[in-house]
Amino acid sequence: MSFNLENIISIRDFSKNDVEYILKKAEKMEPIARSEKVCHEKDGKLLGVMFYEPSTRTRLSFETAMKRLGGDVIGFGQKQGTSVQKGEVLYDTAQIIAQYTDALVIRHDMEGAARFIADNVDVPVINAGDGAGQHPSQTLLDLYTIKRTRGNLNNLKIALVGDLKYGRTVHSLVYALAMFNIEMIFIAPEELQMPSEIINDLTKMNCKFTQKSTLLDNLDDIDVLYMTRIQKERFPDPKEYLKVKGQYTLKKSNIEGTDIILMHPLPRVDEIDFDVDSLDNAMYFKQAFYGVPVRMAILDSVIKK
Ligand code: CP
């Protein structure tokens, strides 16, 4: 098995072999991620992180991953305090940090930002989320979570719920799920359904999916329930957000006693009641931990010796 991608920009750049390569490598990284083993694989290497949008999990798990591999990290988690505040453009900032480091991780509100930077710098670039576009490392950790929990990625039925219009996690994830024998149900208010270009792509790929608007009467036979937050910050008109806010809230009784695996890329707002956390079904905190071995696998694959 080999991995030949230089940059991690979109899950659509991945072959099934590339996906499986990362998932396999992540398994080997788990003891290091758990601090049971020490690794010096990336001693002396530096990762640059550039986060123009807020993040907890993605930035900190990339930083953890790089340090667990023996490397180190520089960069910023917000624009404040950088020369972006003096008007420096993304291109220039990336050129500079690329000269100091061996790879860049970038999150930006502009769709296509990571691809643009990858085309213009001499180090590998990893997309940590570009507007409503893609979030490929999240997708890989989502797949890893499903595989670790269910044992495989085939013959599953997955419901994706919430903000399917603006959610980059689901925009990435569906293309990866389409590589496997997985049936999808898209549950969202009409205004937040999966964009038509993605629906067209999935249709061309002969993918099995349905679109629904209610949650509780569509949970039969579901293996994985993937909840998402309605993303207030992406609505051009706040009044439109208020119309759809709080439409889906999962209660403990909705999945207690079932085999449904409950996932969420997080952060959550009001989609999952806090008492759901005590159920064995609730996988979202473990899912966030799996971000570390998966991102270790990604960094180890793109940062050469
Ligand atoms: N899942 C995810 O992308 O979380 P953060 O926004 O906290 O990085």
pLDDT digits (tens, 9 = 90+) for 112-132: 999 999 999 999 999 999 999
pTM for the structure as a whole: 0.96
Cα 305 to Cα 300: distance, rounded to the nearest angstrom: 9
Domain boundaries, the chain: 11-133+291-302, 136-288
Helix or strand holding residue 129 (H, E): strand 125-130
| CA of 291, closest atom in ligand 1 | 1
Predicted pLDDT of residue 187: 97
How close is the Cα of 180 to the center of ligand 1, in Å?
Answer: 25
Q: Which CATH superfamily is domain 11-133+291-302 in?
A: Aspartate/ornithine carbamoyltransferase (3.40.50.1370)
Enzyme catalytic residues:
57-58, 86, 107, 135
Cβ of 265 below 6 Å from ligand 1:
yes
Atom of ligand 1 nearest to the CA of 56: 7
pLDDT at 295: 98
Tracing tokens 């403990």 back to the chain, one arrives at 252
Give the H or E element holding residue 186.
Answer: strand 182-187
Evaluate if residue 242 carries a pLDDT over 90.
no
Angle at 145 between CA 139 and CA 148, to 5 degrees: 140
Cα separation, 6 vs 117, whole angstroms: 13
175 CA → ligand 1 middle, Å: 19
Are 133 and 115 in contact by the 8 Å Cβ rule? The answer is: no
Q: Is the CB of 285 under 6 A from ligand 1?
A: no
pLDDT band at 289 (very low <50, low <70, confident <90, very high): very high
Q: Output the CA 265–ligand 1 centroid distance in Å.
A: 7
Using alpha carbons, select from 287, 303, 300 the residue that is nearest to residue 140: 287
Tens-place pLDDT, residues 13-45: 999 999 999 999 999 999 999 999 999 999 999
Q: Which of 56, 59, 126, 228 to mutate to test the pocket of ligand 1 (most atoms within 8 A of CB)?
A: 56
| The pLDDT of residue 303 | 98
Q: Band of the pLDDT at 222, cuts 50, 70, 90? A: very high
Closest CA to 178 of 288, 15, 293: 15
> Average of pLDDT values for 283-299?
98
Instruction: Please report which confidence band the pLDDT of residue 174 belongs to, taking 50, 70 and 90 as the band edges.
Output: very high
* Three-state SS at 57: helix
| pLDDT at residue 113 in the model | 98
Residue 2 pLDDT > 90: no
For the cut 90, the answer to whether the pLDDT of residue 240 exceeds it is no
Percent of the chain with pLDDT over 70: 100
242 SS3 class: helix
User: Is any atom of ligand 1 closer than 6 Å to the C-beta of 107?
Assistant: no
Q: Helix (H, G, I), strand (E, B), or coil: what is residue 190? A: helix
* Rounded distance from Cα 9 to ligand 1 centre (Å): 16
Contacts of 238 (CB under 8 A, 6+ apart): 232
DSSP 284-299: HHHHHHHHHHHHHHHH
Write down the pLDDT at residue 245: 85
Residue 49 Cβ contacting ligand 1 at under 6 Å: no
Instruction: Name the residue with higher pLDDT: 206 or 234.
Output: 206
* pLDDT over threshold 90, residue 1: no
In order of 53, 189, 230, the CA distances from 165 in angstroms are: 19, 10, 9
CA 56–ligand 1 middle distance (angstroms) = 6
pLDDT confidence band for 247 (50 / 70 / 90):
confident
Q: In this predicted structure, what is the pLDDT of residue 243? A: 81
Q: Which pLDDT value is given to residue 176?
A: 98
Residue nearest to ligand 1 atom 5, measured at CA = 55
Helix (H, G, I), strand (E, B) or coil at 71: coil
Residue 57 Cβ contacting ligand 1 at under 6 Å: yes
Shared fold status for 11-133+291-302 and 136-288: yes
In CATH, the number for domain 136-288 is 3.40.50.1370
* Residue 134 CB burial class (10 angstroms; 0-12, 13-18, ≥19): buried
Distance of CA 78 from the midpoint of ligand 1 (Å): 14
Atom of ligand 1 nearest to the CA of 54: 6
Is 228 close to ligand 1, i.e. is its CB under 6 Å away? no
Mean pLDDT of the chain: 96
At 237 the pLDDT is 86
Among the residue ranges 23-27, 87-91, 105-109, 247-251, the one predicted with the least confidence is 247-251
